[in-house]
């Protein structure tokens, strides 16, 4: 059995519009300590992250505490919306969830994000079969992964999750089959959602 703990990043500083370099807020940095606490007894063998700063910084303290390097996997990055700042992000997100192929001319569709993330995940599962893995990730990227294994997960679920930062989703995988998905709200004592 392979256990994958996806860690959706803690609260980012939206005043920084550079998606790649957007840091965590002070609260986000404090909440990242909850991630470390939750993962401390999970016998983690490898820590992987998206290349985006907020994802790395959410798992960095934990990796340091257990003496693991963070392996960066570019394909776990968040969806590219486009080269413009979207003021009405909710309408844009809803349209993408209604049509998995919808995208701006210089952005990615949810199908493209899902394909990219699942390809990266399958590679990780091959490399670390039977291990306990942490993957620092993002809300939309993680939502498309959940949707791949559970097609009932859609826009309404994404909306409910949107403000939960950080958020942990544990997937148990046997060979190439996901047999269980547990959504964990570490801000509320680590209870399952």
Measured N-to-C along each axis, helices 26-39 and 53-66 cross at an angle, to the nearest 10 degrees, of 40
Q: Omega of the bond prior to 166 within 30 degrees of 0, cis? A: yes
Q: Which residue has the tokens 């340091």?
A: 64
Looking at residue 18, its pLDDT comes to: 85
- Report whether 108 contacts 82 (CB < 8 A): no
**Average pLDDT, whole number, for the chain?**
93
Residue 84 carries which DSSP code?
A: S
- Structural domain of 56: 2-192
165 within 8 A of 9, measured Cβ to Cβ: yes
Cα separation, 169 vs 172, in Å, equals 10
The binding site for substrate consists of 8-15, 54
CATH number of residue 185's parent domain: 3.40.50.1240
Q: What's the number of domains the chain is made of?
A: 1
Say whether pLDDT at 188 is over 70: yes
Which region among 76-80, 147-151, 166-170, 183-187 has the lowest average model confidence (pLDDT)?
Answer: 183-187
Instruction: Calculate the dihedral angle through the C-alpha atoms of 144, 34, 179, 50, rounding to the nearest 10 degrees.
Output: 40
CB atoms within 10 A of CB 86: 13
Give 122-160 pLDDT, tens digit per residue.
Answer: 999 999 999 999 999 999 999 999 999 999 999 999 999
Annotated binding site: 8-15, 54
């Amino acid at each position: 059995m392979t256990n994958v703990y996806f860690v959706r990043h803690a609260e980012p500083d939206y005043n920084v519009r550079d998606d790649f370099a957007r840091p965590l807020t002070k609260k986000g940095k404090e909440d990242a300590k909850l991630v470390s606490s939750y993962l401390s007894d999970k016998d983690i063998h490898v820590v992987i992250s998206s290349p985006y700063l907020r994802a790395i910084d959410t798992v960095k303290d934990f990796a340091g505490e257990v003496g693991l390097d963070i392996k960066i996997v570019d394909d776990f990055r968040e969806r590219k919306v486009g080269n413009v700042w979207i003021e009405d992000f909710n309408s844009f997100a809803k349209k993408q969830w209604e049509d998995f192929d919808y995208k701006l001319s210089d952005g990615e569709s949810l199908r493209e994000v899902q394909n990219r993330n699942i390809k990266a995940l399958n590679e990780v599962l091959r490399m670390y079969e039977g291990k306990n893995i942490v993957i620092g990730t993002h809300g939309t990227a993680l939502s498309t992964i959940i949707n791949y294994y559970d097609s009932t997960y859609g826009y309404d679920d994404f909306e409910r999750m949107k403000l939960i930062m950080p958020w942990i989703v544990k997937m148990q995988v046997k060979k190439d089959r996901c047999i269980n998905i547990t959504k964990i709200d570490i801000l509320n004592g680590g209870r399952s959602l």
